[in-house]
């Protein structure tokens, strides 16, 4: 049986519920809910792994970290968030890996006045809330980057295929909001569920619409399903993928079908190729080096990097909040929220975060690079 304690950080497994005393006021308590099982496991496991790289203390205060699995289920994520707040008296919540689960956590955070870092993109009505701060690049930033690239590539029409949930909705909504500015016309829209094992019917409809390109709104290994099916059905046009697909598992599963695809990605996937002047290079290299030392070469993901970036922010915000109140109190949670909102810029592996009262997305163009694939490897698009 694995030791349930990381070095210096107490982690309570989802199925192990020991009787605990209330947290000492000197401990900063963080609740992390991730999809380490279920259809979002490819995204959630790197998040869970990355918690192991967190320091034992910040600002002279010990960190107590509680990690629970939500299996990507919004109802379980809600239960986890309520346990964090009601039973563990956490000072901040991080999670989840999937958009529907993150939306659920955000609801609890808002209701209970608890700072929350979302590790997945969320709709504007969530990101505009008072208590949730978004770690991934927002859909608008990614969409603008991809739409501009599509325009530069001469794309006029595209077919869309994405998840049949709020993550899939994000990209259709972005097209409706700004797509026409780039001279793009969506000629087909298809959806599939995360657990699906075939998208043959949807792909046949896409190919029949004769688009110049296909835009895939999916994440993790699930993004490889339409990628493979499109190539198998003879589609030779450009395929564009969001940052949710940028994993080495995607390359392994998609194989040759991934070649020449265009991905919008966070810079953490290629810190080695960034110029020394890049504000994301130092944190990116620090995360990638530590993660791959522990979990093996080629295991980096930008999903796990969101956990690193949450801590990069908290390392600066916690000492500020400690000047106002003690951890474990409503006053500390409010002070921590304020420190996150006003304490930037926070250089991190995925961008330079600078949140404001009217902007809980906090990232700009420094948070996106374009990648393509060749021979099973990601390459920067020059």
Kindly report, residue by residue over 39-95, the tens digit of the pLDDT. 888 889 999 999 999 999 999 999 999 999 999 999 999 999 999 999 999 999 999
Residue 359: DSSP 8-state: B
Domain ranges in the chain with CATH number 3.40.50.2300: 5-137+285-364, 139-265
**Axis-axis angle for helices 74-86, 99-112 (nearest 10):** 30
| Cis before 40? omega within 30 | no
pLDDT at 19: 37
Nearest Cα to Cα of residue 348 among 315, 378, 372, 318: 315
The edge-to-edge listing of strands for the beta sheet with 28-34 is 57-58, 61-69, 28-34, 92-95, 116-118, 132-134
DSSP assignment of 64-91 equals: EEEEEE-TT-HHHHHHHHHHHHHTS--S
Contact between 368 and 265 under an 8 Å Cβ cutoff? The reply is yes
pLDDT at 299 exceeding the cut of 50: yes
What are phi and psi for residue 18, nearest 5 degrees?
-70, 155
pLDDT at 166: 87
pLDDT band at 146 (very low <50, low <70, confident <90, very high): very high
Q: Give me the mean pLDDT over the 247-254 stretch.
A: 91
Share of the chain above pLDDT 70, in %: 93
Nearest Cα to Cα of residue 223 among 162, 150, 279: 162
Element (H, E) at 10: strand 9-10
Nearest Cα to Cα of residue 184 among 149, 217, 219: 149
For residue 286, give the 3-state DSSP assignment: helix
pLDDT, tens digit, for every residue of 167-192? 899 999 999 999 999 999 999 999 99
Q: What is the mean pLDDT of the chain?
A: 91
pLDDT, tens digit, for every residue of 100-125? 999 999 999 999 999 999 999 888 89
Nearest Cα to Cα of residue 161 among 243, 225, 232, 247: 225
For 5-137+285-364, CATH number? Answer: 3.40.50.2300
Contact between 382 and 372 under an 8 Å Cβ cutoff? The reply is no
pLDDT at 93: 98
Give the gyration radius of the chain's Cα atoms.
20
- Residue 15 has a CB neighbour count (10 Å cut-off) of 7
pLDDT band at 248 (very low <50, low <70, confident <90, very high): confident
Residue position matching structure tokens 């960034």: 274
Element (H, E) at 223: none
Q: What is the fold, at CATH topology level, of the domain defined by 139-265?
A: Rossmann fold (3.40.50)
Share of the chain above pLDDT 90, in %: 82
pLDDT band at 24 (very low <50, low <70, confident <90, very high): very low
**What is the C-alpha to C-alpha distance for residues 103 and 228, in angstroms, rounded to an integer?**
30
């Amino acid at each position: 049986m694995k030791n349930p304690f990381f070095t210096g950080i107490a982690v309570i497994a989802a199925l192990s519920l020991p009787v605990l005393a209330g947290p000492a006021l000197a401990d900063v308590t963080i609740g992390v809910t991730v999809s380490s099982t279920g259809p979002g496991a490819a995204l959630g496991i790197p998040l869970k792994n990355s918690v192991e790289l967190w320091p034992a203390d910040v600002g002279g205060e010990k960190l107590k970290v509680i990690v629970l699995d939500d299996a990507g289920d919004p109802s379980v994520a809600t239960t986890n968030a309520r346990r964090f707040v009601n039973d563990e008296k956490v000072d901040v919540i991080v999670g989840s890996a999937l958009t529907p689960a993150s939306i659920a956590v955000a609801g609890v955070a808002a209701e209970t006045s608890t700072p929350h870092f979302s590790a997945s993109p969320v709709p504007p009505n969530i990101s505009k809330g008072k208590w949730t701060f978004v770690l991934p690049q927002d859909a608008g930033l990614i969409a603008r980057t991809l739409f501009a690239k599509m325009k530069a590539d001469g794309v006029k029409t595209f077919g869309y295929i994405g998840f049949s949930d709020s993550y899939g909705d994000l990209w259709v909504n972005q097209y409706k909001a700004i797509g026409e500015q780039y001279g793009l016309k969506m000629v087909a829209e298809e959806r599939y569920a995360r657990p699906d094992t075939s998208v043959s019917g949807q792909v046949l409809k896409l190919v029949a619409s004769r688009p110049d390109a296909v835009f895939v709104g999916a994440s993790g290994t699930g993004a490889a399903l339409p990628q493979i099916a499109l190539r198998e059905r003879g589609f030779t046009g450009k395929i564009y993928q969001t940052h949710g697909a940028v994993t080495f598992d995607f390359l392994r599963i998609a194989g040759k079908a991934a070649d020449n695809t265009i991905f919008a990605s966070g810079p953490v996937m290629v810190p080695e190729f960034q110029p020394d002047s890049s504000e994301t290079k130092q944190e990116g290299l620090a995360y990638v080096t530590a993660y791959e030392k522990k979990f093996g070469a080629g295991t980096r993901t930008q999903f796990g990097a969101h956990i690193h970036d949450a801590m990069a922010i908290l390392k600066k915000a916690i000492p500020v909040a400690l000047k106002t109140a003690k951890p474990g109190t409503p006053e500390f949670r409010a002070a921590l929220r304020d420190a996150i909102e006003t304490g930037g810029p926070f250089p991190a592996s995925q961008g330079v975060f600078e949140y404001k009262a009217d902007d809980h997305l906090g990232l700009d163009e420094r948070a996106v690079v374009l990648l393509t694939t060749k021979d099973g490897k990601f390459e920067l698009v020059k």
